[in-house]
C-alpha cells in the first residue's frame, strides 16, 4: 500500500495489536458507530433525551458550545474539567488525558464543536468524556456539507484519522471479489460481498440488514472450512501409541482408596481408547467441580509412563499445581517413578537439575504452571500432556502443548463458550463425568442483597463450634489491578469482620508472594482459620472438606464460570454446604440472568450452555 496505507513488508505493530495482520483484515474491520457532523443538537435536548441513562451510551452527537470555565482537579484522579454552554443549557467536558496546550486553549468564551457520546452523571449532570473538539462554529450551510465519520475500534497510538485513511486505501485496492454464484445469492436475498463491505463502511446498518447477513454467511462458511481443515490436520498428526505395557494404570486403580463412579469408568475407557491410537488425542474431560476429574488425569499419566513415555500436567496457578503435585505424589507413592514440580521462583540449581531430568528421561512426570511450555523445557519422550482448568489458559499456551506431537487431555469444570461451541461442531472429543462421588450432597445456593449482609455475622461466628469453615470472596476492582484501590472491597470487608472473628479470620489475595499465599491456604486447610477472606485466588485451590460455606461479595461483578468455580470450593466433604451470593442493587439485566442461572442449576454443562447464549462462542479454531 502507498503512503496512505501501511506497506505489507513494514506492517505497523499498532495494527497487529488490533489483530489486523494485512489489508484484508483492514477491509473487514468495520466501524463501531458513525458520527454525524451535519447536524447540531442543543444541550437541553440531550438532557431530556439521554438524561437518565446511567450505564448505556447514547448515539454520538455534535454540539456547538462556548467555554464558561475550566480547571484541573486531582481527585479521584488528575483530569481537566471544562464547563460549557449553548443557548439552551450547560454541560461538562472531562479529559483524563490532556496536555498544557489543550488546557491553555480552554479559555472563557472560546467556541468549539463538541462531538461525542453524551452521558448523565448525578453529580455533574450532562457530560461528555473525552469528546472530539473542533475549533469554531459552522453555519447551517457549512454543517450540511459535513460527511458521516466512521469510528473504528482502535488502540492507543492510533488515531481515527490515520486508521480511517488506511481502511479507505485498503477498500480501493484490496476489497475481496465475489466468490458465490449470483443465483445462490439471489435465492437467499443477499447482496454481493463487495457491496456489503462498502455499505457497512459507509453508514450504520441495522444488525438484521442484508449487508450484515451477507458477512455472517461468509463467516460461517469460512469457519466451517477452517474447522474441517483443522480437524483433518489433527487427524493426520501422529502421536505415540500408549498401551501401558507395564500395567501402571491398572495398578493405580487397585491402589486407590476409592472406587471409580460409573461416569469416571466411562470417561477412563474413552481416554484409554484414545491413548492406544497412533493419532493425536484432543479430548476434554468435563465434570462439575469435585466430580473426580483428577483421577482420570492420573490414569492417563500412568498409561503414558507404563508405555515408556513421560507425562506433563499443567495447571493455571501455582496453588493448583502444588495441589496436583501433592495428590499425584500420594497416588504414585511406591511406584518407583520420579516426579518434579516446575514453577516460578525455583533456584537456578534446582531448575537446572529438574530440566536435566526431563531432558534425559530420568524424570517421568512434570507438574507445573505455564513454566512447562517455556523454551528451556525439553522432554526426552513426552507422551501425554494434561491441561487442568483448560479454559484459564491462553490460546497460545494450549497450542504450544498440542503442537508437541503428543496426546492432549484437557479438564474443565465449566467449559467456556469456545469449548462448548467446538463440542457442538464435533471438533473436540468430550467425556462427561456427571456423577458426584458417594456421600456428597448438592450445594444449596442463596441470593441475598448486599444490604442484608449483617445477617451473616452470627452464623459465621458459630462455624467453629460446628466444626465448619467458610470462604468469603471479594472482587478485585476492575481496571485497578495496579492501583492501591484494587483491594478496596477486601480491605473494607476485613475491617468489618475482624472485630467479630479476630484471629479466626485469614486473608489471602493476589498481591501476596506465592509462598505467603501457599502458607495461608495451608493454614486454612489445617483448620487454623474459621473464615478465609480472599479474592479469586482461591477459585482453584486446596481441597478443604470442612469448608461448607462460600460467601461471594458483589456476586454481580463475577462471570458465570467464575461463580460456578467458587461455589465448587465447598461441598467436598460430607454434610450440607451453602453458597451465598451477595448482590448490590439495582442489578443489570445481564447480572440478573447470571445469578438466576447459578440459583437454578449446579450443572456445569448447563451453565456453559447459558454462558454461550450470553457471550457467544469466541474463536472456534483454538
pLDDT(270) > 50 = yes
* 193-202 and 160-174 helices, crossing angle to 10°: 160
Beta bridge partners of 279: 238
pLDDT at position 516: 84
Beta bridge partners of 128: 93, 118
User: What's the rounded Cα separation, in Å, for the pair 486 and 4?
Assistant: 42
- Residues of the chain above pLDDT 90, percent: 40
Q: Yes or no: say if 412 and 314 are a contact pair by the CB < 8 Å rule.
A: no
User: What's the rounded Cα separation, in Å, for the pair 502 and 529?
Assistant: 10
Mean local confidence (pLDDT), 208-215:
92
Which domains are assigned to the chain? 33-151 (2.40.50.140), 180-236 (no CATH), 248-433 (3.40.50.300), 444-601 (3.40.50.300)
Q: Yes or no: say if 190 and 213 are a contact pair by the CB < 8 Å rule.
A: yes
pLDDT at position 34: 84
pLDDT(364) > 90 = yes
- Residues of the chain above pLDDT 70, percent: 87
pLDDT at position 423: 53
pLDDT(477) > 70 = no
- pTM exceeding 0.75: no
pLDDT category, 111, cuts 50, 70, 90?
very high
Task: Select the more confidently predicted residue: 331 or 545.
Answer: 331
Which cell goes with 526? 489445617
Residue entry with cell 480501493: 172
pLDDT at position 618: 57
Residue entry with cell 516446575: 342
Cα distances (Å, whole numbers) of residue 561 to 3, 121, 421, 577, 612: 47, 32, 15, 19, 11
Task: Select the more confidently predicted residue: 317 or 313.
Answer: 313
pLDDT category, 55, cuts 50, 70, 90?
very low
pLDDT(483) > 50 = no
Phi-psi region of 13 (alpha: psi -120 to 50; beta: other; left: phi over 0): alpha
pLDDT(222) > 80 = yes
User: What's the rounded Cα separation, in Å, for the pair 275 and 231?
Assistant: 18
pLDDT category, 57, cuts 50, 70, 90?
very low
Task: Select the more confidently predicted residue: 456 or 518.
Answer: 456
Mean local confidence (pLDDT), 501-523:
85
Q: Is 206 helix (H, G, I), strand (E, B) or coil?
A: coil
pLDDT at position 2: 40
pLDDT at position 3: 42
Render pLDDT for 160-185 as a digit per residue (tens, 0 to 9). Answer: 888 999 999 999 999 999 999 999 99
The per-residue b/e assignment along 336-360, b for 16 or more CB within 10 angstroms, e otherwise, is ebebbbbbeebeeeebeebbebbee
Q: Phi then psi for 214, rounded to 5 degrees?
A: -65, -40
Least confident stretch, 38-52, 87-101, 366-380: 38-52
Task: Select the more confidently predicted residue: 2 or 532.
Answer: 532
pLDDT category, 35, cuts 50, 70, 90?
confident
Report the greatest alpha carbon distance in the chain: 89
pLDDT(49) > 60 = no
For the chain, what is the mean pLDDT?
84
pLDDT at position 376: 82
pLDDT at position 519: 85
Q: Phi then psi for 481, rounded to 5 degrees?
A: -60, -30
The alpha helices in 156-261, defined as continuous H runs, are 160-174, 182-188, 193-202, 210-236, 248-255
Task: Select the more confidently predicted residue: 622 or 152.
Answer: 152
Mean local confidence (pLDDT), 519-544:
82
Beta bridge partners of 472: 533, 551
Q: Yes or no: say if 545 and 505 are a contact pair by the CB < 8 Å rule.
A: no
Q: Phi then psi for 429, rounded to 5 degrees?
A: -75, 140
pLDDT category, 16, cuts 50, 70, 90?
confident
Amino acid at each position: 500500500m502507498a503512503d496512505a496505507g501501511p506497506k505489507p513488508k513494514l506492517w505497523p505493530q499498532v495494527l497487529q495489536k488490533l489483530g489486523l495482520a494485512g489489508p484484508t483484515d483492514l477491509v473487514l474491520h468495520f466501524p463501531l458507530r458513525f458520527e454525524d457532523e451535519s447536524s447540531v443538537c442543543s444541550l437541553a435536548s440531550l438532557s431530556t433525551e439521554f438524561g437518565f441513562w446511567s450505564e448505556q451510551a447514547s448515539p454520538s452527537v455534535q454540539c456547538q458550545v462556548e467555554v464558561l470555565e475550566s480547571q484541573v482537579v486531582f481527585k479521584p484522579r488528575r483530569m481537566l474539567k471544562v464547563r460549557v454552554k449553548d443557548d439552551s443549557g450547560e454541560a461538562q467536558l472531562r479529559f483524563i488525558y490532556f496536555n498544557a496546550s489543550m488546557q491553555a486553549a480552554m479559555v472563557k468564551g472560546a467556541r468549539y464543536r463538541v462531538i461525542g457520546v453524551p452521558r448523565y452523571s448525578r453529580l455533574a449532570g450532562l457530560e461528555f468524556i473525552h469528546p472530539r473538539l473542533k475549533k469554531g462554529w459552522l453555519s447551517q450551510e457549512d454543517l450540511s456539507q459535513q460527511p458521516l465519520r466512521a469510528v473504528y475500534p482502535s488502540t492507543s497510538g492510533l488515531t481515527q484519522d490515520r486508521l480511517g485513511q488506511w481502511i479507505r486505501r485498503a477498500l480501493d485496492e484490496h476489497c475481496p471479489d465475489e466468490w458465490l454464484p449470483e443465483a445462490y445469492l439471489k435465492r437467499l436475498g443477499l447482496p454481493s460481498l463487495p457491496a456489503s463491505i462498502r455499505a457497512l463502511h459507509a453508514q450504520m446498518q441495522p444488525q438484521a440488514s442484508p449487508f450484515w447477513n451477507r458477512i455472517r454467511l461468509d463467516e460461517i462458511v469460512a469457519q466451517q472450512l477452517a474447522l474441517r481443515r483443522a480437524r483433518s490436520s489433527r487427524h493426520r498428526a501422529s502421536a505415540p501409541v500408549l498401551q501401558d505395557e507395564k500395567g501402571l494404570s491398572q495398578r493405580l486403580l487397585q491402589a486407590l482408596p476409592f472406587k471409580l463412579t460409573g461416569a469416571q469408568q466411562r470417561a477412563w475407557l474413552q481416554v484409554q481408547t484414545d491413548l492406544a491410537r497412533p493419532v493425536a488425542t484432543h479430548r476434554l474431560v468435563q465434570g462439575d467441580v469435585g466430580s473426580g476429574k483428577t483421577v482420570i488425569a492420573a490414569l492417563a499419566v500412568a498409561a503414558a509412563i507404563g508405555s515408556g513415555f513421560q507425562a506433563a500436567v499443567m495447571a493455571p496457578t501455582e496453588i493448583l499445581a502444588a495441589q496436583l503435585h501433592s495428590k499425584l505424589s500420594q497416588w504414585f507413592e511406591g511406584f518407583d517413578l520420579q516426579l518434579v514440580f516446575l514453577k516460578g521462583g525455583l533456584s537456578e540449581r534446582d531448575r537446572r537439575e529438574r530440566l536435566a531430568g526431563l531432558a534425559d528421561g530420568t524424570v517421568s512426570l512434570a507438574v507445573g504452571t505455564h513454566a512447562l511450555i517455556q523454551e528451556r523445557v525439553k522432554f526426552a519422550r513426552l507422551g501425554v500432556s494434561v491441561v487442568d482448568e483448560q479454559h484459564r489458559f491462553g490460546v497460545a499456551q494450549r497450542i504450544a502443548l498440542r503442537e508437541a506431537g503428543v496426546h492432549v487431555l484437557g479438564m474443565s469444570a465449566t467449559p467456556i463458550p469456545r469449548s462448548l461451541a467446538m463440542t457442538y461442531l464435533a471438533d473436540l472429543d468430550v467425556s462427561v463425568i456427571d456423577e458426584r462421588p458417594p456421600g456428597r450432597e448438592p450445594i444449596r445456593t442463596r441470593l441475598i442483597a448486599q444490604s442484608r449482609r449483617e445477617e451473616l455475622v452470627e452464623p459465621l461466628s458459630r462455624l467453629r463450634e460446628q466444626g465448619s469453615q467458610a470462604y468469603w470472596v471479594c472482587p478485585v476492582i476492575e481496571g485497578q489491578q495496579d492501583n492501591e484501590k484494587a483491594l478496596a472491597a477486601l480491605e473494607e470487608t476485613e475491617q468489618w469482620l475482624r472485630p467479630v472473628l479476630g484471629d479466626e479470620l485469614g486473608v489471602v489475595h493476589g498481591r501476596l508472594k506465592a509462598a505467603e499465599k501457599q502458607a495461608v491456604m495451608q493454614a486454612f486447610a489445617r483448620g487454623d482459620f474459621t473464615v478465609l477472606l480472599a479474592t479469586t485466588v482461591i477459585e482453584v485451590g486446596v481441597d478443604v472438606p470442612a469448608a461448607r460455606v462460600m460467601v461471594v461479595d458483589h456476586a454481580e461483578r463475577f462471570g458465570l464460570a467464575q461463580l460456578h468455580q467458587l461455589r465448587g470450593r465447598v461441598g467436598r466433604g460430607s454434610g450440607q454446604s451453602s453458597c451465598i451470593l451477595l448482590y448490590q442493587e439495582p442489578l443489570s439485566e445481564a447480572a440478573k440472568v447470571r445469578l438466576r442461572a447459578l440459583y437454578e442449576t449446579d450443572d456445569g454443562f448447563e451453565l456453559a450452555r447459558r454462558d454461550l447464549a450470553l457471550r457467544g462462542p469466541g474463536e472456534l479454531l483454538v
